[in-house]
Amino acid sequence: MNFKTTGVLIVALVVLCGMWWFTRSGQKTSQEIAPPLLPEAGAGPRLMDLDSAKVNRLTIVDAAGGRTSLQRTGDQWRLLEPVDAPAATWGARSLVATIVELRSRGRPAADPGAASGLAKPRYRIDVSTEDGKSAQLLIGAKTGIGDAMYAQVGGGEVNLIDADLETTLKTAADDLRDKSLFRIGRAEVKQLRIVSSGRPLALALVQGKWKITEPAEMPGDETEIKSFVGTLRGEEVTEYLAPNSDELAFAQFDRPTAQIWINEAGAATQPAATEPWGPATVTVGGPDSLAKDHYYVKTADAQFGKISSSTLVSLKMTALELRDRDVLAVPPADVVSVWIEKRTYATGPATQPAGASAPIASQIIKLTSLPAEIQGEAGPALPKPVTQPTTQPASRAAGPRPVEEESAWRLVDDPRSVVDDAKVKTLLDQFRVLRVEGYLETAPHWPVAQRYAVTLMTRSARYEINFIKSADGQSTVGFYNGLTFDAPGAVVDALDADFRKAVPK
């Protein structure tokens, strides 16, 4: 081999070595800048050595300089930036825990340099605790491989974190703001007043029981009112507006659709009629569009926003909807006499008002309790029927009844018949506590099959209750003491009973 050939081989060897070194160097650099993601999200070591339960201050600053700042006092969180307003405590706790408990998904094999974006971070997060500790978290760029971002705590090592955190940080200001329309705390609501469409509704908790004070004083239904207050706790503002928003010129707060005043302190008296709401007033203005699907609202702490039309509907409760469903209570043992007048009607057209036509049949049942010495031989005075019955049972000569058939009740117009005490008891049990399904503003206008006039006499009181039964048998409406209500069908079933006991032949 001559010198020339040897030189060529040396040059070729150098070129091959250079190519090998360049290839190896390029692969290594690629691996260092875009490293594999080691553990899955939440599986690696924590980035911060802080206790999330002790965090009392958190500030998020984005790349554009936008700030979201939170501060905790006691158990309550408050937004300080971008607006000074109450924060949703559960949301604030969740965000703090998400940031403080953040875990690494691995580290680059080598310093990514400017590619990390940490020199000009997308987010800078400052965290402080009540015991004097603090930390700063920088969130940089996405890696480009996998759902990960670069992060660094306090100038330490660069880590990879789950990129989903950016979505949370983008909406933090809106998500953290307390959207509760009524910021009702843990204390029990003691007073409530709503004026909607010019109609007032006022409630007060008096000696542990709810009472309706407007539009008229009446007992409240505990279940319904507690459910109503619970609904109010859950109502939210759908969107907040800036205090200088141009939209507020159309809010119509001077002509409110509704105003609501809530008191948790339990004042001795309800608000005066001349100043019924005081400082803790929520004012609902006009609709924000012709669609009327949202209404402007001013909260009790003078924040402005919008609520949905469904929220406004939930506020428009009436006194009858919240009134105590127990219409009357008559202890059966106190009843000494029962009078039932039943009228049957021919069913007419659907537009026929209740009882508009003359009855085709009438029946009067008079029951009096025994022993007679308690009531007197003639029994209690019974009310005179409005109309005479078209049919009445034939008069029977009074006489003694068989001893074995003795009962605690007798039919006044048929004293020889034996009364079925069990059926009388079933009837009186309906009035032990007459609890209705709901109240009506006016009487219904549908075909009526039967009308019942019921009089219960005790030794000290008289109760007159009326019922009508629809022609289709599906509805029963009652009337008592100026109230109109949906009555349970069991009442009519008890009134339709044949109170004579069947005697074996």
The matching CATH number, chosen from 3.30.70, 2.60.40, 2.30.29, 1.10.8, for 52-176 is 2.60.40
Q: Which two tokens stand for residue 303?
A: 């924040």
Banded pLDDT at 24 (limits 50, 70, 90) = low
Higher pLDDT among residues 24 and 97, named by residue: 97
The per-residue pLDDT for 381 is 41
Q: In what order do the strands lie in the sheet with 158-162?
A: 85-86, 76-81, 67-73, 55-62, 123-129, 134-142, 148-153, 158-162
Helices (H), 55-149: 89-100
Region of poorest pLDDT, from 115-124, 391-400, 485-494:
391-400
- The mean per-residue pLDDT over the stretch 140-157 comes to 88
The per-residue pLDDT for 198 is 85
- The mean per-residue pLDDT over the stretch 329-341 comes to 96
204 pLDDT above the threshold of 80: yes
Place of tokens 């308690």: 374
> What percent of the chain lies above the pLDDT cut of 70?
78
- The mean per-residue pLDDT over the stretch 175-187 comes to 82
157: nearest Cα among 100, 98, 108, 121: 108
Q: According to CATH, where is 2.60.40 located in the chain?
A: 52-176
Read out DSSP for 54-79? GEEEEEEEETT--EEEEEEETTEEEE
- The mean per-residue pLDDT over the stretch 198-218 comes to 92
User: Whole-angstrom Cα distance, residue 169 to residue 321?
Assistant: 44
DSSP-based three-state secondary structure for 375: helix
347 pLDDT above the threshold of 70: no
User: Whole-angstrom Cα distance, residue 405 to residue 401?
Assistant: 7
Burial class (CB in 10 A: 0-12, 13-18, 19+), 352: middle
Length reported for the chain: 505
User: What is the biggest distance separating any 2 CA atoms in the chain, rounded to whole angstroms?
Assistant: 157
Residues 111-143: tens digit of each pLDDT: 888 999 999 999 999 999 999 999 999 999 998
Contact 305, 299 (CB under 8 A): yes
- The mean per-residue pLDDT over the stretch 360-374 comes to 80
Q: What is the CA angle 475-478-481, rounded to 5?
A: 165
**Position 281: which residue type?**
T
